[in-house]
Structure 1
Amino acid sequence: MMNNFPTLLDRHIIVDGHRIAAGVHGSGDPLVLVHGTPAHSIIWRNLLPRLTAAGFQVHLYDLLGFGASERPLSADTSIAAQAELLIGLLDHWQLDTAHVFGHDIGGALSLRAAFSHAERFRSLTIADICSYDSWPSPTWRGIRDNYRQYAVMDERQHAQTQERQLKMAVFNKSLMEGELLRRYLAPIVGVVGQPAFYQQQIAHYHARYTEDFAQRLPELRLPVQILWGENDEWQPVSYAYRLQADIPDARLQVIPQAGHFLMEDAPEAVAQRLVAFIHSL
């Protein structure tokens, strides 16, 4: 059984003038993990030992404004800015090229980075990403459209709202409770975390960052794998098939009994498919 809460981030680095919490584990071919929202690097905890055991040097980090990274007062934390930050991280880690696995907005921002820096990607695996006009999903849209009010709402109401949202992210609802739920909530509650969450994450839930995918994806020239939780309540699986149709030679694998946070529902299946895809290249 995997260690439920291993130490994932073991250093702080400065990239583009901002403090980023990061970690590097194992040895071998470099593999960069890019998380989504509302999440942070905790979502990789069950994949990390499987990936290092498979012979990868795993690089992971919390996005700017997320988790243990800096919560900037005025910097852009949209996925457009986060895409440039990813390239800055590759430079910091001295990785001319790397395999990349991006989930949710982490997958969308990785695609944006690949549009202009495809030569830095050995391969790209994307999972349950926001794309085209798929986001924000209905429950998040109402929150996004009123994010300033949510930023100052009663802290108990805020926590209850986010607990409801996080339970939607998994197929097995019993996973998202107790200590795991507390750790997902920890960076987004409190006098700093709550307003920062709405201002630096939810305010940027907007399809303007992905509405050009239909035009740009057919021009992408790198190995791409798409993983999707069959029971995703936020990003319907129909978008996975649309992405497969638009990305040349993309491989799609739909994972049963898995929701949006498929790394929580099916970590072994996700790790196996990621490793097999990279080894097949």
Structure 2
Amino acid sequence: MVTVQVSGLKVAYDRVGDGPPLVFLHGAGEDGRTWRPQLDALADEFTVVAWDEPGAGRSSDLPAPSDSAEPFALADYAHCLAAVVESLRLGPAHIAGLSWGGTLALEFYRRRPDLVRTLLLVDTYAGWKGSLPPEEVRARVAGARRMLAALPGEFDPTLPGLFAGEPPALYAPLLDAMAAVVRPESMRTQLALMAETDLRDVLPTVSVPTLLLWGEQDARSPLSVARQFQEALPDAELVVIPEAGHVSNLERPAEFNRAVRAFCRAHS
């Protein structure tokens, strides 16, 4: 584990391997451990990094809201990510983001394109507002409010529709361990930002090669969203992973890793 200090926050990340930098951004209600199959499989060819974003895993809590400071915003996450990529001292990185992490990857590109070698957008959105019908966004916001209103002992951060079938048994303990330490305020911030964000204007400006990795049976970000990305991005390749849902890196890790390796190798 490595840590960097950014604006008074400790940001932790795992770093393994040697080679071109490949940085993974986790989804909402997760931390860097969700990328364990990728750290294990890809470190033979890449410097693989999985961060715990501010408010997750081993990183500091998000700053408490106050009258004297603006709420933690997408730009603040991007600023922290820039410190992580710069701390590697390896130049621009392959930036891979799943779901909420993919939305952050787009924001990061908008603000720091100099640090991005390629983008790998996995089962993601241009923000919920930018990718989903308004009625679906309203339904998700209502569901998030119900989740966050639960009593402390009853809070369950597991979002519906993450897998095509049952969660993979091999990673069930990992999923339980991550869910047990999710901080409600972090989840509140992530989901509120997703509901408000529309990054469709960023897509046509992306000048780096982009891989779209999508689970064939993703119910949360369906393939129609991937097609929207493919049409808007200047240089995008779509790889659909059969029999996978929203968390395709855990549900079909072999296929996922193979696609990531081929893409990053071709653009390193």
Scaled by the length of structure 1, the TM-score of the pair is: 0.82
Root mean square deviation, CA, Å: 2.3
CA-CA distance at 1:79 after TM superposition: 2.8
Tell me, in whole angstroms, the C-alpha distance in 2 between the residues paired with 1:201 and 1:45: 22
Given the alignment of the two structures, is residue 52 of structure 1 paired with residue 37 of structure 2, yes or no? no
2:178 maps to: 184
Q: Which residue of 2 aligns with 1:7?
A: none
2:12 maps to amino acid: A
Structural mapping, 1:180-219, within 5 Å: 180-188=174-182, 193=183, 195-206=184-195, 208-209=196-197, 211-213=198-200, 215-219=201-205
SS of 2:240's equivalent in the other structure is: strand
Q: Aligned partner of 2:4: which letter?
A: I
Number of residue pairs the alignment of both structures matches: 256
Separation in 1 of the partners of 2:167 and 2:192?
A: 29
Mapped pair 1:66 → 2:60: no
Residue of structure 2 equivalent to 1:153? 150
Q: Aligned partners of 2:179, 2:234: CA distance in 1, in Å?
A: 38
Runs of 4+ in structure 1 deviating by more than 6 angstroms, as ranges, are none
Q: CA deviation at 1:243?
A: 0.1
Question: Equivalent residue of 2:112, what SS?
Answer: helix
CA distance change for structure 1 residues 272 and 64 in 2, over 3 Å: closer, same or farther? same
Structure 2 unaligned segments of length 5 or more: list them. Answer: none
What's the CA shift string for 1:211-250, capped at 9, x where partnerless?
241x331121111110001111111110001101100120
Structure 1 residues 92 and 15, CA, compared in 2 at 3 Å: closer, same or farther? Answer: farther
Deviations 1:27-49 (A, max 9, x none): 11111111111211121011111
In the superposition, relative to structure 1, how do residues 30 and 181 fare at CA in structure 2: closer, same or farther (>3 Å)?
closer
Report the secondary structure of 2:202's partner residue. Answer: helix
**Is 2:163 the partner of 1:170?**
yes
Does 1:25 find its partner at 2:16?
Answer: yes
1:232 pairs with 2:218: yes
| Contact 2:107-2:199 at 8 Å conserved across structures | no
Q: Percent identity?
A: 25
Mapped pair 1:133 → 2:131: yes
- Report the CA distance shift for 1:105/1:79 in structure 2 as closer, same or farther (over 3 A): farther
- Supply the distance in 2 between the matched residues of 1:129 and 1:178 (Cα, whole angstroms): 22
Q: Which amino acid aligns with 1:16?
A: S
Unaligned runs of 5+ in 1: 1-9
Post-superposition CA distance 1:86-113 (Å, at most 9, x none): 1122223334311111111211111112
Report the CA distance shift for 1:157/1:107 in structure 2 as closer, same or farther (over 3 A).
same
Does the aligned pair in 1 maintain the 2:33–2:174 contact within 8 Å?
A: no
Query: What is the rounded CA distance, in whole Å, between the counterparts of 1:179 and 1:138 in structure 2?
Result: 32
Distance 1:221 1:174, change over 3 A: closer
The amino acid of 2:216's aligned partner reads E
Aligned residue for 1:104?
99
- Contact kept, 8 Å, 2:120 with 2:211, in 1: the verdict is yes
In structure 1, the partner of 2:143 is 143
5 Å-filtered alignment, 1:3-22, equals 10-22=1-13
